[in-house]
Amino acid sequence: MRHRAPTRRTALKAMLAAAVLTASLTAGCTRHGTSDDGRAPHSSQTPDGRHTAGAGSVLAVKIDNTAAARPQTGLDSADVVYAEQVEGGLSRLMAVYATRLPEVVGPVRSARESDLELLRQFDRPTLAFSGAQRKLLPLIDQAPLRPETPDAASGAYYRGSDKQAPHNLYLRPAKLMARAPGEAALTTGFRYGAAPAGGTVTATRTVRYPAARFTFTWSADEKRWLVSMDGTPARTTAGKRVAAATVVVQHVRIRTSRYHDVLGNYTPFTETVGSGKAEVLRNGRSFEATWTRQEATGGTTFTGADGGPVDFADGPVWVVFAKA
């Protein structure tokens, strides 16, 4: 809460205190073996030091998706998984949890500017990430979310022995959230229901980035799209095949952002506000659609060629942002 300063001296003291705080937040750097994982801003704590989020807040986790990071942990528990392009044409995932929290999630990696726009659709989401490019940190601090990094919530993270750093940072969600917020927290704009009429029978669909690719293969037995990444079937560390009930290939504008890594590679910015073409895969069929998200604080709707909504199947949703 903001208070009006009664005197000029009080105001001056407040300004000096704010300057000291800002300096302390930006002085350090926790890189975790990468060039873009910096020190994240502080988050709120309870009196006993426990980091918790509001009951209606989803948990969003940035997950590494390089070959060295696989197999991932906890990815199969996500309600929604977003796939985005990052530096060098590689991919990174954002897993969103609302209906259940896995015991462990990871490997956790750094945030990007695009994440801030994407997460505005949720009410004060908790963002778990390993850090960010230093100049991006002030924007994360100002965003309407709860940033949680190893610096801010060290007890929630640990280094595993299964992989080499930086691909071995894991999160225990229960250390950040007392419980899953529930389905109502998924304010994505997605509709769920019976499949629309029509569609094209589709056995497999591949989306390519310059240095990564996602393939979704329909399994009639499991009634799921089985996920493969870079030509390899995706499995969790427990050996479970990663799958989705609905896959969305969302064609978006991908432009160069203001931020880059230590090698000078600029980070792509994925624009998720606006409109464009999309493909919705469900029940072994592909449905042509148009996506619309009028403002960052709203969800995304999908409309079919007949002007009606394209409903999703019950279960996990994967959204792959493809260049329009």
pLDDT digits (tens, 9 = 90+) for 215-255: 999 999 999 999 999 999 999 999 999 999 999 999 999 99
- The percentage of the chain sitting over the pLDDT mark of 90, rounded to a whole number, equals 76
> Contact at 8 Å (CB) between 242 and 217?
no
Q: How far apart are CA 64 and CA 166, in angstroms?
A: 9
pLDDT at 17 over 80: no
pLDDT band at 49 (very low <50, low <70, confident <90, very high): very low
* pTM of the shown model: 0.83
Specify the long-range contacts of residues 271-276, CB closer than 8 Å, at least 24 apart: 271/114, 271/117, 272/114, 272/117, 272/118, 272/300, 272/321, 273/117, 276/250, 276/251, 276/252, 276/324
pLDDT at 195 over 70: yes
Q: How far apart are CA 34 and CA 90, in angstroms?
A: 15
Q: How far apart are CA 282 and CA 317, in angstroms?
A: 10
Cβ neighbours for 204, distance < 8 A, ≥ 6 positions apart: 215, 216, 217, 218
What does the pLDDT look like over 106-155, one tens digit per residue? 999 999 999 999 999 999 999 999 999 888 999 999 999 999 999 989 89
Dump the DSSP string for 10-74.
Answer: HHHHHHHHHHHHHHHHHH----TTSSS--PPPP----TTS-----TT--EEEEE--SGGGPSBBS
Mean pLDDT of 269-293: 98
**Residue carrying the six token digits 């956790």:** 108
> Contact at 8 Å (CB) between 187 and 96?
no
| pLDDT number for residue 101 | 97
| pLDDT number for residue 55 | 52
Q: How far apart are CA 101 and CA 85, in angstroms?
A: 26
pLDDT band at 193 (very low <50, low <70, confident <90, very high): very high
| Tokens, residue 76 | 């199969």
| pLDDT number for residue 266 | 75
| pLDDT number for residue 181 | 96
| pLDDT number for residue 264 | 66
Q: How far apart are CA 81 and CA 95, in angstroms?
A: 4
Ranges of H-type helices in the chain: 8-27, 113-119, 137-142
Closest among 199, 163, 181, 171 to 311, alpha carbons compared: 199
Q: Which amino acid, one-letter code, is at 32?
A: H
In this structure, the dihedral spanned by the alpha carbons of residues 169, 171, 175 and 178, taken in order and rounded to 10 degrees, is 170
Which stretch of 11-25, 205-219, 226-240, 254-268 has the lowest confidence by average pLDDT? 11-25
Closest among 174, 130, 134, 132 to 152, alpha carbons compared: 130
Which stretch of 7-11, 188-192, 258-262, 293-297 has the lowest confidence by average pLDDT? 7-11
pLDDT at 33 over 90: no
| pLDDT number for residue 258 | 79
Q: What is the mean pLDDT of the chain?
A: 85
Closest among 138, 117, 130, 2 to 61, alpha carbons compared: 130
Mean pLDDT of 262-284: 90
What does the pLDDT look like over 80-114, one tens digit per residue? 999 999 998 999 999 999 999 999 999 999 999 99
- For Cα atoms 74, 77, 80, give the angle at the middle one, nearest 5 degrees: 110
pLDDT band at 24 (very low <50, low <70, confident <90, very high): very low
pLDDT at 201 over 60: yes
| pLDDT number for residue 261 | 63
